[in-house]
Amino acid sequence: MIASKDYAHARQELERDTTQSEKLGLKLVSARIHYLLGDVLSQAGNSSEASGHYQQAITILDGLKVEAGAEHLLDRPDLHSMYSESQRRTSKS
């Protein structure tokens, strides 16, 4: 939906998914959803709201990387990219 620029439906689906992932305690999934919500909102022209979702993704990942055994969480290329891009986009706001 994001690739086809159907931002309204993408946002709707992601918001539904974030409720489910948070209810189930799926923190990595929640971080990814917040990151994607940031992308959707940014591309739809709502950069101030997008910044909040990027910040939420950062917060979740920061919380995860302090857990025992997760010190190298951001060594994963996908998570490192998501974290770095979220930081870059929140600093632009």
Q: Domain ranges in the chain? A: 7-91
For the stretch 18-71, pLDDT in tens is 999 999 999 999 999 999 999 999 999 998 999 999 999 999 999 999 988 888
- Say what the pLDDT of residue 2 is: 84
Read off the pLDDT band of 86 (50, 70, 90). Answer: very high
Architecture in CATH of 7-91? Up-down Bundle (1.20)
Which pTM value belongs to this model? 0.91
For the stretch 61-76, pLDDT in tens is 999 999 888 889 999 9
Query: DSSP states of 14-36 as a string?
Result: HHHHHHHHHHHT-HHHHHHHHHH
- Say what the pLDDT of residue 67 is: 87
Q: Which two tokens stand for residue 1?
A: 């939906």
